[in-house]
Structure formats: C-alpha cells, structure tokens
C-alpha cells in the first residue's frame, strides 16, 4: 500500500481556492466539546437561560467552530504535507447554533520561504460559512509545510 499522497510546499500555488463539504453542528458536538475543554459557559450549556439571550438558544463554542473548520480543511482535497500550524488570526463574526451546517471556504494568500531549508510557510485565508452563506468566523492561518524531499 502506498502512503497517502500529500502536497509539498512547492506544489501549492498562491490563489488556489478550496471549498469543504458541509458539517452539521449538533447538540452532541457542543456537549462533547464542553466536556473535553471544561468550558461550561452558560452560552453553551444552559438552554433555559439562553432562551432570553440575544441568541435565543445555546450557541457553539467559538473554538469548537475553529476546530471543526480545521478538520474540514483536511477534507477539501489532497492534504498538505503540513508540519504544523504557525500562527492564527481569527475573528468570530456570528453564532453557530445547533443544527447549523457550516463549511469552509479557503484561499492561499501567500507563500514564503523559511529559514529552515526543508520547509516553507503557506498563508491560508479562511471563511466559515453557514447554510445561509453568512460568514460566522474568518481568519488567517500560517501553516508550516514540508518541501519535497531531495534524494
């Protein structure tokens, strides 16, 4: 069995755009994320209190949306030969509610060489959209991606 293919730094081009499949965010997602993270803020856990809030119901943790979009990125095509995430700049623009279906739209906005010769940095601009095409989260991530190994 050959290893799954990955895209090297050299193969990624500025301007490439990706759109992920959709992912419906469920009550279970929010409960599991609260349990995992220990963030039991009433925004995410108290249905009765949230009825009288501006949102009208519980909303997903912002960082749950961030984690889900990161998973969606891996489903947009052939994954990068990623060594890791370098930096993130992120804005939460609107709530993700139970039953919302979110997807990721991403675009490669920059590439730069690294001081370390075996890798480079790829900047990906990202928007998380809901089923009404509203941007609920957006930001920029710098990914450290491996160069094609020299033989």
Partner 1 sequence: MAGPPQFYFEDVVLHGVLDTPAMTITEAHVGIYAGLSHDLPARSDQVPELLPLCLTPGLGWRVNQPPLAVLAFMGFDWEVLQPVRVGDTIHSRSRTAVKRSMREGGVIVEERQVINQRGEVVQKGRFTFLVAKRPTDAAPTG
- Select from 43, 104, 106, 124 the one that contacts partner 1 (CB under 8 A): 43
How many other CB atoms sit within 10 Å of the CB of residue 86?
Answer: 14
How many whole angstroms separate alpha carbon 81 and alpha carbon 102?
25
Q: Which is nearer to partner 1, 38 or 149 (CB)?
A: 38
Q: Which is nearer to partner 1, 15 or 18 (CB)?
A: 18
Using the Cα atoms of residue 49, residue 60, residue 35 and residue 22 in order, give the sign of their dihedral.
positive
- Select from 14, 27, 32, 148 the one that contacts partner 1 (CB under 8 A): 32
Q: DSSP code of 1?
A: -
Q: Can residue 60 be called a binding residue for partner 1 (CB under 8 A)? A: no
Q: Which is nearer to partner 1, 74 or 131 (CB)?
A: 74
Residues linked to residue 146 through DSSP beta bridges, in sequence order: 119
Q: Residue 8: CA atoms inside 13 Å, Cβ hemisphere, count?
A: 7
How many whole angstroms separate alpha carbon 111 and alpha carbon 113?
7
Q: Can residue 85 be called a binding residue for partner 1 (CB under 8 A)? A: yes
Q: Can residue 36 be called a binding residue for partner 1 (CB under 8 A)? A: yes
For partner 1, the binding residues (CB under 8 A) are: 29, 32-33, 36-41, 43, 49, 61-64, 66-68, 70-72, 74-75, 82-92, 139
């Amino acid at each position: 069995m050959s290893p799954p293919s990955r895209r090297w730094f050299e193969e990624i081009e500025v301007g490439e755009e990706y759109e992920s499949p959709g992912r419906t965010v469920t009550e279970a997602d929010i409960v599991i994320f609260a349990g995992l993270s220990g963030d039991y803020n009433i925004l995410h856990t108290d249905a009765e209190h949230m009825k009288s809030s501006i949102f009208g119901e519980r909303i997903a943790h912002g960082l749950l949306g961030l984690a889900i979009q990161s998973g969606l990125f891996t489903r947009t095509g052939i994954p990068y030969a990623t060594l890791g995430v370098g930096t993130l700049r992120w804005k939460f623009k609107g709530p993700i509610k139970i039953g919302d279906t979110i997807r990721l739209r991403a675009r490669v906005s920059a590439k730069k060489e690294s001081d370390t010769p075996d890798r480079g940095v790829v900047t990906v601009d990202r928007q998380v959209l809901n089923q009404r095409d509203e941007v609920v989260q957006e930001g920029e991530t710098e990914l450290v991606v491996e160069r094609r190994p020299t033989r």
